[in-house]
Amino acid sequence: MKDLSDYLCTPLSIGTRTIRSRLVLAPMAMLGHVAFRELVNEFGGYGLLFSEMCSAKRILHENRYLSPYFRWRNEELPELVCQIFGSDPNIMAAAAHRIETEGFFGVDINFGCAASDICRHNGGAALLKDPALACRIVSAVREAITIPLFVKFRTGWKDDPDFAVNMAKRFEAAGADALTFHPRVAPDRRAHHPKWAYIGEIKKAVSIPVFGNGNVFDATDCLRMIRITGCDGVAVGRMAVAKPWLFAEWTRHQSVGNSIFRHTALRMAELLEKHYDPINALRRFRKFALYFAANFHFGHTFYTGIMNAMNIEGAKTVIEHFFHTDPGLARQPNINFLR
């Protein structure tokens, strides 16, 4: 295989469009918001950005300037995919149509979220228990849009790769242009290592691009996943929150110094202030801080300080105090913060 950066920077066709990098930001609830995406954009190196998971029902009447989830910058639309969840094919199709009308790069259907509040309403991974309905949703969305259609899904509710392979084939037949596969069973909240070999089985079963996802923490992991699975690209989630510059690092060999950590924390706070009201800004910064804390030996000190901050200004004070002395960078991220 070529050098990792050469491979990641090889253009990839998805439906009728092409992306310049095969390294993409995975969709993450409460993390992949407009402020974080702007931060990632400032570093660059990614192929696509994925929005937070958005309710299809809400998208039909959401005001982009007021919604905490269905919100974007016009400049990012050519590389932005909106992820939606829901269980009604007609509503999902209508939401997807609005997404296309707004100018997004593509639509992503979530069949991977195993959170109880989503599955309770037959959304996310719950739909893998009803394959026929899941496929009707994909078909309905396909008929409603011409932009690229992605499907993100898990192994299923049992450790059965044959089920996942069959679903991949059915999603392709229903009109999906690309798949993002997270090889864990739905109830597994990252207690076990994802079975990357299953990604390879998915890749062999379909002709559309497959993005691997799960436990890619550094460039070595990224290269290993590609070599083991033959996947067409890699979707990085949690580690991208801890190190938003990794896209530039892995695709451009862009080197960063230790000062990047203080800069990133402060810049995240500034961007949240720009895009959100004080309450939502602090809420999202606390979520970000949990993952960002994985970079440090004393990450719990940083995270506790942020949790105790009363507002974004207080969070900035915590950041300055934490970085006033050597923060003690960890050689490997603390996985306990990334669960």
Mean pLDDT for each consecutive 10-residue tract of the chain (339 residues)?
85 97 94 97 97 95 94 98 97 98 98 88 93 98 98 95 98 98 84 90 98 95 96 97 96 85 98 96 97 94 97 97 91 77
Answer yes or no: are the C-beta atoms of 235 and 25 closer than 8 Å: yes
Q: How far apart are CA 123 and CA 111, in angstroms?
A: 7
According to the model, what pLDDT value does residue 1 have? 44
Q: What is the pLDDT of residue 335?
A: 76
Tokens of 263: 């800069």
Distance between CA 338 and CA 290 in Å, rounded? Answer: 8
Task: Give pLDDT, residue 162.
Answer: 97
Per residue in 234-274, pLDDT tens?
999 999 999 999 999 999 887 788 899 999 999 999 999 99
Count Cα atoms within 13 angstroms, Cβ side, for 294. 21
Q: Which of 9, 82, 113, 119 is catalytic?
A: 113
Domain boundaries, the chain: 4-252, 259-338
pLDDT for the residue numbered 149: 98
pLDDT number for residue 232: 98
Task: Give whole-number Cα distances, 110 to 113, 132, 238, 299, in Å.
Answer: 7, 15, 17, 31
What pLDDT shows up at residue 265? 98
Whole-model pTM? 0.95
pLDDT of residue 80: 98
Is 82 among the catalytic positions?
no
pLDDT value at residue 189: 65
pLDDT digits (tens, 9 = 90+) for 188-200: 666 678 999 999 9
Tell me the DSSP string of 218-256. SHHHHHHHHHHH--SEEEE-HHHHH-TTHHHHHHH----
Q: Are 212 and 234 in contact (CB under 8 A)?
A: yes
Q: Give the per-residue pLDDT at 105.
A: 98
The third-level CATH classification (topology) of the domain covering 4-252 is TIM Barrel (3.20.20)
CA atoms within 13 A on the CB side of 165: 11
> Any idea what the Cα angle at residue 8 is, between residues 53 and 26, rounded to 5°?
10
**Strand, helix or coil for residue 33:** coil
